Structure formats: structure tokens, C-alpha cells
Amino acid sequence: MLLFSIYGIRKLKSKIKRKELENAFRIGFNNYLLKKYNLKENEYQLWLKIVDGLSEKDIASHFYRSIHTIKGWRKTLYKKLNSTDEAFKQKHAIDLYNREINSFKSTSKATPKGIF
């Protein structure tokens, strides 16, 4: 019985450490993107919502803002991300996020396996 308890404790510690590493990686990645693209926190959160595929109406309700405010944020975000083609701005934002996360994972030595 004692052996099982020790094994259970080790397994629990391993899970906790993994969660801490995952959170540290995400915080590092968030800060990296905020600095690289000179984004405000709300612009970064908007980017994440766009990547998740939410509509403007859903994004507006999440931020407790009007759709017009979200459209303004989106316009500013697309300028900062250097999206030029009107028809592909959302796709560009999603592709850019995926490229950045892959780039960050490949350069980060502390990336825990299986986060993304």
C-alpha cells in the first residue's frame, strides 16, 4: 500500500510540474508576441479570439464591447500584423499566429511535449 502511495505522489508531482511548465511556456510566448508586434493586451486577446474562429458578435460579447469597437481593434491589429490583402486578413492573422508558435517552440528549449 505504501508503494502505491509513493507512486501516486510522484505521478501527481509530475502532473503539477508539467502544468507549471505549460503555463510558463504560454506566458513566455504571450510576452514574446506582445513585444514582437507591439501589441496591447486587448489586441493580443482579440488575435487569440480570431484564431479560435469566433465571430465579431461573439468577440464583442466576450469583451463587453460593441461590434464597432471590435472592428476598430481588428483594423489596428491587422495593421500591426502587416496584413495587406483585405480578403485574407483573418487567414493571415491565423497563419501568422501558427507560424510564430511553431517558431517559438523550435527555439525554446523548455517546451514541454504535447502542449500544442
Question: Is residue 67 within a helix (H) or strand (E), and if so which, with residue range?
Answer: helix 67-80
Q: Where are the domains of the chain?
A: 2-107
pLDDT of amino acid 15: 62
pLDDT in tens, 16-53: 666 665 666 667 778 888 888 898 888 889 988 888 88
Q: Cell match 525554446: residue?
A: 108
Q: Cell match 499566429: residue?
A: 97
C-alpha 80/C-alpha 100 separation (Å) is 15
* Nearest residue to 35 (alpha-carbon basis) of 71, 66, 80, 69: 80
pLDDT in tens, 8-22: 555 655 666 666 656
Q: CB of 24 within 8 A of CB of 64?
A: no
* Nearest residue to 43 (alpha-carbon basis) of 88, 86, 97, 100: 97
User: What is the grid cell recorded at 27?
Assistant: 506566458
The domain over range 2-107 is classified in CATH as 3.30.420.40: no
Name the band, by pLDDT with cuts 50, 70 and 90, for residue 3: very low
- On the question of pLDDT at 2 being above 50, the answer is no
pLDDT of amino acid 107: 72
pLDDT of amino acid 116: 46
